[in-house]
């Protein structure tokens, strides 16, 4: 009897897909309403991000960037979901989710400063509703439940979206955040980017659940599993979750099935220790850029020339951003003391004095 | 003026702030219709509505995340952790997140959050209700830690805590909730955070303390008086940051110090207070700074509280030891 119950549950979380690996529309009814320009913009962002990822890895190896978690392979998952948002929506990113906050308005040079470990990386410009990348896996999920509740109470027609990975779905905060948003019927979207590995641990070792999307059942909220290498499916699922949230129908958990082509981070992780080249090959064929390129070419909306323009633009932007990051003033202890409290307590005033004297030598 | 217990003064402070600022939200487990497990939020939901005073699911970490998110969207959350022994569940939200919000955003965001939570021994609570964990919080850069010992202090300090634009951990000693009444002004007033209070003036020995130990210290001072020893009792009120000026003023006057805490010797903030004094006033000291604290074991089984918790006799003994050194 228990087996039957499980099958019944799992049967409700079939993968939602619009474009197959050949760039053919396999689910016409679900096609999102996007203009030609919007479709091209989506492709531009994915290409831009792929180049940025390549450059970031290389800049990291040169020692010109610090902490960096590669994103190649996850462009559809990251950018398709962000594309469905309104400018006023809030993003609570994980440490890998830099592309979403950059396309939401964080200047690229600040993303680089974040990577290097400079406070200017966290000084989000006014009107850009994003948090700094969250290092504690799961913390962004409970906080998103709070932001979503706040938006609803302030009468805003906006949602809070947050991202974690497949490993993150094992955390207590993952469940608590979804459950709180469900209990308060808050406008939140929880995205789990399932790239099959949490550093070296395969998703099968995280849980016996056949999908992550079905974990929505525990919170009593909607859940959907999406082909995370299909930008149109990710966009459509996020858009729908957003509309449902704003209509007062509560939060949604979206699981995107994707893959990171690179290592977990640039801090010495070597994926050949735990991933087979067969698996890499299998996922190379699912590359979100390849299938969307084919789709757009079929519609006469994309050419090699356009792609090269994006590549050049990305390279120029990155060069300029790195230059701007280089120009940021070196951090001083007195800066750091200044960011602790609105008003420094006595011990910090004393230390401020001490370090001001040191810094003026 | 009205006669209030400490818990009434706490409720009064929240009522005041709920009335004054529509962004103040009070939430936690059973704080709504039930009015809190200690009646701290009694009547507040009825007066201000379910939008302002509400219950949460039973998950401390979620409550902390909720407070952080609400703080980011313009609210001023007053969250309750039912017993501070449960803080471990929400340690990341408090120490890993809200404490660091202003810093990690380079001043862009902040967490105007008050974390209210009961703690403290002497009332035979079950496991992990009474533990004195304030030392953990005092070691966390980015939060202030407040521990009132009287109804008057409780109200003024809680209003200040709620109005503070950075996170404040506000710890309420369970034994002090209803142990006595005192005059509390009905109108609003504030007590600055980070300011100690001399609860009794004296000239022979400084007793620096906080929480329930303030009252044990006052009782010890009475006993010492009978033997001709004049003890000054300083109630820190805020244990992070500590009010070093008030401490030093007293130490320079008495030249002898004991630091009294209910927490285990390896915990609390006694070591920090002692260290600050020796660094800043060693030439004024006639004797080493000694500490009264609990033994370094896990908080006692309820029936062992009487033999484990420090009491006024321990304070008298230690005060004599520094006098006779």
Q: How far apart are CA A236 and CA A219, in angstroms?
A: 23
Q: Are B231 and B258 in contact (CB under 8 A)?
A: no
Q: Identify the closest residue of chain A to B59 by CA–CA distance.
A: A176
Closest residue to A124, CB basis, from B56, B97, B108: B108
User: Testing the interface with A: which of B32, B53, B63, B65 to mutate, by most A Cβ within 10 A?
Assistant: B65
Q: Identify the closest residue of chain B to A178 by CA–CA distance.
A: B62
Query: For strand A197-198 and strand A201-202, is the pairing parallel, antiparallel, or unpaired?
Result: antiparallel
Q: Does A173 lie at the interface with B, CB-CB under 8 angstroms?
A: yes
Name every chain B residue with its beta carbon within 8 A of the beta carbon of A131: 72, 105, 109
Q: Are A97 and A310 in contact (CB under 8 A)?
A: no
Name every chain B residue with its beta carbon within 8 A of the beta carbon of A342: 102, 110, 164-166
Same domain, yes or no: A160 and A221: yes
Q: Are B234 and B247 in contact (CB under 8 A)?
A: yes
Residue A5 in domain:
no
Residue A113 in domain:
yes
User: Of the residues B159, B184, B209, which one is the last residue of a structural domain?
Assistant: B184
Residue A322 tokens read as 């790195």
Residue B189 in domain:
no
Same domain, yes or no: A142 and A179: yes
Residue B181 above 60 pLDDT?
A: yes
Q: Do B65 and A341 touch (CB under 8 A)?
A: no
Same domain, yes or no: B29 and B91: yes
Residue B261 tokens read as 């805490």
Across chain B, mean pLDDT equals 98
Count how many domains chain A has.
2
User: Testing the interface with B: which of A105, A142, A168 to mutate, by most B Cβ within 10 A?
Assistant: A142
Same domain, yes or no: B54 and B166: yes
Q: Do B69 and A147 touch (CB under 8 A)?
A: yes
User: Of the residues B156, B184, B212, which one is the last residue of a structural domain?
Assistant: B184
Q: Does B73 lie at the interface with A, CB-CB under 8 angstroms?
A: yes
Name every chain B residue with its beta carbon within 8 A of the beta carbon of A132: 104-105
Q: Does A107 lie at the interface with B, CB-CB under 8 angstroms?
A: no
Q: Do A149 and B66 touch (CB under 8 A)?
A: yes
Same domain, yes or no: B87 and B223: no
Residues in A 1-40 with any Cβ partner in B closer than 8 A: none
Residue B191 in domain:
no
B231-256 residues labelled b (16+ CB within 10 A) or e (exposed): bbbbbbbbbbbbbbebbbbbbeebbb
Same domain, yes or no: A289 and A153: yes
| Positions in chain A whose pLDDT score sits under 50 | none
Give the residue-averaged pLDDT of B107-113.
98
Q: How far is CA B141 from the centre of its chain?
A: 17
pLDDT of residue B1: 85
Q: How far apart are CA A142 and CA A162, in angstroms?
A: 10
Give the residue-averaged pLDDT of B236-265.
98
Q: Do A119 and B106 touch (CB under 8 A)?
A: yes
pLDDT of residue A4: 80
Q: Do B66 and A145 touch (CB under 8 A)?
A: yes
Find the CATH number of the domain harbouring B218. 3.40.50.920
Rounded to a whole number, what is the distance in angstroms from the first to the last CA of chain B?
45
Q: Identify the closest residue of chain B to A176 by CA–CA distance.
A: B62
Residue B129 above 80 pLDDT?
A: yes
Q: Are A18 and A280 in contact (CB under 8 A)?
A: no
Residue B69 tokens read as 């998110």
Name every chain A residue with its beta carbon within 8 A of the beta carbon of B51: 153
pLDDT of residue A3: 62
Residue B190 in domain:
no
Give the residue-averaged pLDDT of B184-200.
98
Same domain, yes or no: A343 and A217: no
Q: Does B97 lie at the interface with A, CB-CB under 8 angstroms?
A: yes
* Residue range B212-235, pLDDT digits in tens: 999 999 999 999 999 999 999 999
Residue A15 in domain:
no
Q: How far apart are CA B104 and CA A326, in angstroms?
A: 20
The active-site residue out of B129, B215, B272, B284 is B129
Query: For strand A201-202 and strand A222-227, is the pairing parallel, antiparallel, or unpaired?
Result: unpaired
Complex prediction ipTM: 0.97
Q: Identify the closest residue of chain B to A182 by CA–CA distance.
A: B57
- Its domain, for residue A360, covers 331-361
Residue B10 in domain:
yes
pLDDT of residue B192: 98
* Residue range B3-42, pLDDT digits in tens: 999 999 999 999 999 999 999 999 999 999 999 999 999 9
- Its domain, for residue B110, covers 2-184
Q: Does A190 lie at the interface with B, CB-CB under 8 angstroms?
A: no
Q: Do A142 and B71 touch (CB under 8 A)?
A: no
Q: Identify the closest residue of chain B to A128 by CA–CA distance.
A: B108
User: Testing the interface with A: which of B59, B73, B102, B141 to mutate, by most A Cβ within 10 A?
Assistant: B73
Smallest CA–CA distance, residue B275 to chain A, in Å, is: 14
- The question of whether A264 is a catalytic residue gets the answer yes
pLDDT band per the 50, 70, 90 thresholds, residue B97: very high
Residues in A 325-354 with any Cβ partner in B closer than 8 A: 336, 338-342, 345-348
User: Testing the interface with B: which of A124, A176, A337, A338 to mutate, by most B Cβ within 10 A?
Assistant: A176
Same domain, yes or no: B16 and B40: yes
Smallest CA–CA distance, residue B236 to chain A, in Å, is: 14
Name every chain A residue with its beta carbon within 8 A of the beta carbon of B68: 142-143, 146
Q: HSE on the CB side for A168, CA within 13 Å? A: 30
User: Which residues, 6 or more positions from A319, have their beta carbon under 8 angstroms from its beta carbon?
Assistant: none
Count how many domains chain B has.
2
Name every chain A residue with its beta carbon within 8 A of the beta carbon of B66: 142, 145-146, 149, 180
Give the residue-averaged pLDDT of B185-202.
98
Find the CATH number of the domain harbouring A324. 3.40.50.970
Find the CATH number of the domain harbouring B106. 3.40.50.970
Residue B55 above 80 pLDDT?
A: yes
pLDDT of residue A2: 53
Same domain, yes or no: A270 and A352: no
Same domain, yes or no: B176 and B311: no
Same domain, yes or no: A278 and A353: no
Same domain, yes or no: A357 and A277: no
């Amino acid at each position: 009897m228990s087996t039957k119950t499980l099958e019944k549950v799992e049967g409700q979380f079939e993968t939602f897909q619009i474009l197959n690996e050949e760039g053919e529309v396999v689910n016409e009814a679900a096609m999102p309403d996007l203009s030609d320009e919007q479709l091209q913009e989506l492709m531009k962002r994915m290409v831009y991000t792929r180049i940025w990822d390549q450059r970031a890895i290389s800049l990291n190896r040169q020692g010109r960037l610090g902490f960096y978690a590669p994103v190649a392979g996850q462009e559809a998952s990251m950018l398709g979901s962000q594309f469905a948002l309104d400018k006023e929506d809030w993003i609570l990113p994980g440490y890998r989710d830099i592309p979403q906050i950059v396309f939401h308005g964080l200047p690229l040079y600040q993303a680089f400063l974040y990577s290097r470990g400079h406070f200017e990386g966290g000084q989000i410009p006014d009107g850009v509703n994003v948090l700094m990348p969250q290092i504690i896996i799961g913390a962004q999920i409970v906080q998103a439940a709070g932001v979503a509740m706040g938006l609803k109470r302030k009468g805003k027609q906006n949602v809070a979206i947050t991202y974690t990975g497949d490993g993150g779905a094992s955390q207590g905060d993952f469940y608590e955040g979804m459950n709180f948003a469900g209990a308060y019927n808050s406008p939140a979207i929880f995205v789990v980017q399932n790239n099959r590995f949490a550093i070296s641990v395969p998703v099968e070792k995280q849980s016996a659940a056949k999908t992550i999307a079905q974990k929505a059942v525990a919170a009593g909220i909607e859940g959907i599993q999406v082909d995370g290498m299909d930008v149109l499916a990710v966009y459509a699922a996020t858009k729908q979750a957003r509309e449902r949230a704003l209509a007062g129908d509560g939060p949604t958990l979206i699981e995107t099935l994707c893959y990171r082509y690179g290592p977990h981070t640039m801090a010495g992780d070597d994926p050949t220790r735990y991933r087979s080249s067969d698996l890499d090959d299998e996922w190379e064929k699912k590359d979100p850029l390849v299938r969307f390129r084919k789709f757009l070419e079929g519609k006469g909306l994309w050419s090699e020339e356009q792609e090269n323009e994006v590549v050049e633009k990305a390279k120029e932007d990155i060069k300029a951003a790195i230059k701007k990051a280089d120009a940021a003033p070196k951090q001083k202890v007195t800066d750091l003391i200044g960011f602790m409290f609105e008003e420094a307590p006595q011990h910090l005033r004393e230390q401020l004095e001490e370090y001001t004297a040191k810094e003026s030598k | 003026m009205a006669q209030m217990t400490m818990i009434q003064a706490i409720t009064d402070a929240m009522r005041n702030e709920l009335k004054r600022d529509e962004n103040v939200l009070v939430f936690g487990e059973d704080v709504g219709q039930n009015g809190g497990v200690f009646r701290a939020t009694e009547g507040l939901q009825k007066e201000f509505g379910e939008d302002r005073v509400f219950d949460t699911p039973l998950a401390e970490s979620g409550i902390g995340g909720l407070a952080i998110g609400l703080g980011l969207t313009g609210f001023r959350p007053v969250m309750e952790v039912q017993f501070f022994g449960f803080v471990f569940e929400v340690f990341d939200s408090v120490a890993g997140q809200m404490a660091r919000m202003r810093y990690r955003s380079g001043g862009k965001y902040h967490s105007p959050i008050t974390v209210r939570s009961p703690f403290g021994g002497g009332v035979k609570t079950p496991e992990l209700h009474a533990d004195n964990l304030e030392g953990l919080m005092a070691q966390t850069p980015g939060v202030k830690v407040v521990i009132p010992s009287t109804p008057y202090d409780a109200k003024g300090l809680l209003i200040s805590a709620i109005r503070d634009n950075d996170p404040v951990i506000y710890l309420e000693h369970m034994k002090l909730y209803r142990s006595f009444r005192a005059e509390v002004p009905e109108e609003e007033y504030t007590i600055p955070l980070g300011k100690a209070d001399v609860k009794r003036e004296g000239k022979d020995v400084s007793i620096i303390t906080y929480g329930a130990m303030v009252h044990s210290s006052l009782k010890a001072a009475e006993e010492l008086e009978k033997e001709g020893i004049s003890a000054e009792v300083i109630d820190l009120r805020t244990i992070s940051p500590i009010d070093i000026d008030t401490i030093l003023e007293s130490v320079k006057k008495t030249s002898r110090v004991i630091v009294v805490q209910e927490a285990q010797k390896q915990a609390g903030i006694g070591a920090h207070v002692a260290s600050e004094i020796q660094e800043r006033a060693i030439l004024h000291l006639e004797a080493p700074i000694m500490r009264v604290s609990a033994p370094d074991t896990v908080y006692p089984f309820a029936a062992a509280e009487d033999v484990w918790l420090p009491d006024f006799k321990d304070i008298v003994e230690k005060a004599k030891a520094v006098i006779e050194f």
